[in-house]
A and B are shown apart, each in its own frame.
Chain A
Amino acid sequence: MVTNKPNEARIVITGVGLTAPNGNNLAEFRKSLLAGKSGIQKFNIRYMGEVLAGICHFDPLKYQKKKELRRGTRAGSIAIYCAQEAITDTKLDLAFLDKSRIGVYLGITEHGTVETENEIYEIKQFDYDVKYWSHHHNPRVVANNPAGEVTLNLGITGPHYTLGAACASGNIGLIQGLQMLLLNEVDLALSGGVSESTGSFGIFAGFKSEGALASHENPEKACRPFDKDRNGVVVSEGGCIFVLERLSDALKRGAKIYGEIVGYAINSDATDFIFPDKERQIECMKLALNKAGISPEDIDIINTHGTGTTEGDPVECQAIREVFGEYPHAHINNTKSFIGHAMGAAGALELAGNLPSFEDYIVHPTINLDHLDPECHLNNLVINEPKKIDKVDYIFNNSFGMLGLNSVVIVKRFEE
């Protein structure tokens, strides 16, 4: 489909920086996804003991001083690493850019939990005397912290903030960047999501209390969306930041273009704190397709949100069957099966892991799917092995979150 939008109103991805439990840049991450390599490991956390988690192994000192690491947060550090890598990927030299026209928009599932738990643990050693409470607490826990640390590190003076959107946040960070470019508020958007959730015992304990924390004797098999034996979420940390630009600017400088964001949608279930709602998910998917001006048959790859919970996965599968059922062309996969649930980063990381399909025409699989739950049956679900396909023009990325928040982003192969 040929667009009639002017290039100033078309938003493209021109850089990707990421860290995932199985890769510290897009090439490594993609290689792991095609090789079936999981990033889930055993991990010890305060009060819980041994749990399973996705931990990132990037070198934080690549872009930060030791003092910055000590003062900041893990989410800030992840965000700085991803932002620096994304800028490097664009081949742009920050020294020659107007830094007041760069915006930082990062999705977070939560922020401040890790730091607060750490401080309470610390003052416990002093019989809860609050005079031992850190003066670093407030700048660490303000919700904008991860985005703010990026601006401090890179000297960016444009707007920065985070978007709290539970597990839909990665997509929503991306959408916010797109909107700010369309409003001409900025010329460059660093957009995506980050998560430091593995530093919080409360996140693990919360899922456990819900009966939704995954367990398995082999950590790499623990996250198993759509499998009959799935038993919950694997909590992961991670980050993914995209550089977004107006197409007119990207073309002017001959930028490498990963894809064009042609559609998106966000809506709310208004039904439950935790359980998803099929009807609103269907509405969200259809809304994104409508905004893109395309129909379900145009979509080539659907990256599912599926987290591996008993309750959540079948609802998304039903919704996908209703939207795409009559058009069984699209191939479907799931990235969490490799990296667990990277929370605020999930949507952005999962989209990034699929972008190389525009070049290699391979759909990465859903792994750990040994016994498909019939309720999760989907046409062309790519199971355990990657699959080569003939056409990849549109990638469709689902990300849903607690409190009934749904989001979809559609990225199109770039053509002028």
Chain B
Amino acid sequence: MTKEQIKATILEIIAQIIPDEDLSNLKSDIPLREQVELDSMDFLDIIMELRKRYGIEVPENDYMQLATLDGSVAYLEPRMKKP
């Protein structure tokens, strides 16, 4: 998956989790929670979707790395490469 594809996937997951929010103007380098209403249970939904779709386990200590879209892409890119 390219970085763009990963970003699109994350946005698709977020859109499913917070369907009332407008995601069209999200800034990639600013924490998501500063831009949209995304609480801790929603964040766990993202983690669960990554687990279900891609078998990716994100340890709790790494949660902060998914705070922004850019951070998420950087964190997920090596993990989404098929072995």
Task: Determine, out of A21-29, A65-73, A262-270, the stretch whose residues face the partner at the interface.
Answer: A65-73
Chain A 101-135, CB-CB to B under 8 Å as 1, else 0, gives 00000000000000000000000001000011011
Pick from B20, B37, B41, B52: contact of A126, CB under 8 Å: B52
B44 close to A (CB within 8 Å): yes
Question: CB < 8 Å: which of B37, B41, B51, B52 contacts A71?
Answer: B41
A159 to chain B, nearest CB (A): 24
> Contact: B48 with A67, CB < 8 Å?
no
Residues 133-154 of chain A, each 1 if its beta carbon lies under 8 Å from chain B, else 0 = 0111000000000000000000
Residue B18 at the A interface, CB < 8 A?
A: yes
Cα–Cα, bound, A66→B20 (Å): 6
A67 touches B20 (CB 8 A): yes
Q: Which of A66, A132, A136 contacts B41 (CB 8 A)?
A: A136
Size category of the A interface is 10 to 19
Contact B19–A70 (Cβ < 8 Å): yes
Alpha-carbon separation in the docked complex, A132 to B19 (Å):
22
Name A's interface SS: helix
Contact status B51-A132, CB under 8 Å: yes
Q: Contact at B18–A67, with CB atoms within 8 Å? A: yes
Contact A135 B48 (CB under 8 A): yes
Knowing A135-B41, A135-B44, the reply to whether A67 touches B19 (Cβ < 8 A) is yes
With a CB–CB cut-off of 8 A, which chain B residues contact A135?
A: 41, 44-45, 48
> A134 near B48 (CB under 8 angstroms)?
yes
Main secondary structure of the interface of B (DSSP, over half): helix
Is B20 touching A132 in the complex (CB atoms < 8 A)?
no
Give CA–CA (A136, B41) in the complex, Å: 8
Task: Select from chain B the residue with minimum beta-carbon distance to A129.
Answer: B51
**A133 nearest CB neighbor, chain B only:** B48
- B 11-47 contacts with A by CB, 8 A: 17-20, 37, 41-42, 44-45
Interface centre among B17, B37, B42, B48 (most CB of A within 10 A): B48
Closest-CB distance, B57 to chain A (whole angstroms):
8
Quote the shortest CB–CB distance from B21 to chain A (angstroms): 8
Residue numbers in B under 8 Å from A71 (CB-CB): 41
Contacts of A67 in B (CB 8 A): 17-20, 37, 42
Which residue of B18, B19, B51 is within 8 Å of A131 (Cβ)? B51
Q: Complex formed: what's the CA distance from A70 to B19 in Å?
A: 9
Enumerate chain A residues within 8 angstroms of B44, measured Cβ to Cβ: 135
A126 surroundings in chain B (CB, below 8 A): 52
Task: Find chain A residues with CB under 8 A from B19 CB.
Answer: 66-67, 70
Q: Please name the 5 residue pairs, one residue from A and one from B, whose CB atoms are nearest each other, closest first.
A: A66-B19, A65-B20, A135-B44, A66-B20, A67-B20
| Chain A interface (Cβ < 8 Å from any Cβ of B) | 65-67, 70-71, 126, 131-132, 134-136
A-B contact pairs, 12 of them (CB 8 A): A65-B20, A66-B19, A67-B17, A67-B18, A67-B37, A67-B42, A71-B41, A132-B48, A132-B51, A134-B48, A135-B41, A136-B41
Question: 4 new A-B pairs (CB below 8 Å) besides A67-B20, A132-B51, A135-B41?
Answer: A70-B17, A134-B48, A135-B44, A135-B48
